[in-house]
Amino acid sequence: MNDFVKRPALALLALLLMLAPNIARSAPMLGEDLFKALGCRGCHLAGGSGGSLGPALDGLGKRLSPEQMRQVLTVHRETSVMPSYDHLTEPELATLRDYLQSL
Ligand code: HEC
């Protein structure tokens, strides 16, 4: 490689390294982070801590299918105190479901 080719390549690499932390920050939040950020633990016991207004979510993956979890999160029932999370994006819902499935 001559210098003419190498320099822009190095400049690009430097730029990518500078941007890397920002890319990492804007990447979709992990399911557990979402769970915390959305305040689910305020009402649900999960992994040993949380509230008791809603049912404990440990072992949820054995009780509900991914589709049922999606319904619980996005379809609000009149009689429920649980808020609807239908404003979440598809990737966020999928990440959250994966986390719930792992409990
Ligand atoms: C204000 C309290 C409250 C908050 C906040 C809340 N929930 Fe709930 N959740 C409930 C209650 C109460 C139920 C029981 C069923 C019902 O009333 O709808 C429930 C039911 C559920 C169920 C079904 C559990 C089962 O065993 O069938 C899941 C899954 C669930 N919540 C997940 C979540 C997640 C994930 C979040 C955060 C994104 C969340 N909840 C936030 C109160 C809450």
Residue boundaries of the structural domains of the chain: 28-102
Q: Please, are residues 100 and 39 in contact by the beta-carbon 8 Å criterion? A: no
Q: What is the CA radius of gyration of the chain?
A: 20
Question: Tens digits of per-residue pLDDT, 26-72?
Answer: 455 789 999 999 999 999 999 889 999 999 999 999 999 989 999 99
Q: Rounded to the nearest whole angstrom, what is the distance from the C-alpha of residue 66 to the centroid of ligand 1?
A: 15
> Over pLDDT 90: what percentage of the chain?
61
Which of 38, 41, 43 for mutating ligand 1's site (highest number of atoms within 8 Å of CB)? Answer: 43
Give the per-residue pLDDT at 13: 73
Q: Please, are residues 42 and 35 in contact by the beta-carbon 8 Å criterion? A: no
H-state helical runs in 27-89 = 31-37, 60-63, 66-74
**Cα–Cα distance for residue pair 34/6, rounded to 1 Å:** 42
Give residues with Cβ within 8 angstroms of 53, minimum separation 6. Answer: 42, 43, 44, 81
Take atom 38 of ligand 1 and give the residue whose Cα is closest.
40
Give the per-residue pLDDT at 12: 74
| Range 28-102 has CATH code 1.10.760.10 | yes
pTM of the model: 0.79
pLDDT-derived band at 20 (thresholds 50, 70, 90) equals low
Q: Please, are residues 95 and 28 in contact by the beta-carbon 8 Å criterion? A: yes
Give the per-residue pLDDT at 63: 93
Take atom 8 of ligand 1 and give the residue whose Cα is closest.
82
- Does residue 34's CB lie within 6 angstroms of at least one atom of ligand 1? no
pLDDT-derived band at 14 (thresholds 50, 70, 90) equals confident
Give the per-residue pLDDT at 26: 47
Q: Rounded to the nearest whole angstrom, what is the distance from the C-alpha of residue 24 to the centroid of ligand 1?
A: 30
Give the per-residue pLDDT at 8: 76
Angle, to 10 degrees, between the axis of helix 90-102 and the axis of helix 66-74? Answer: 120
- Structural tokens at position 31: 């399911």
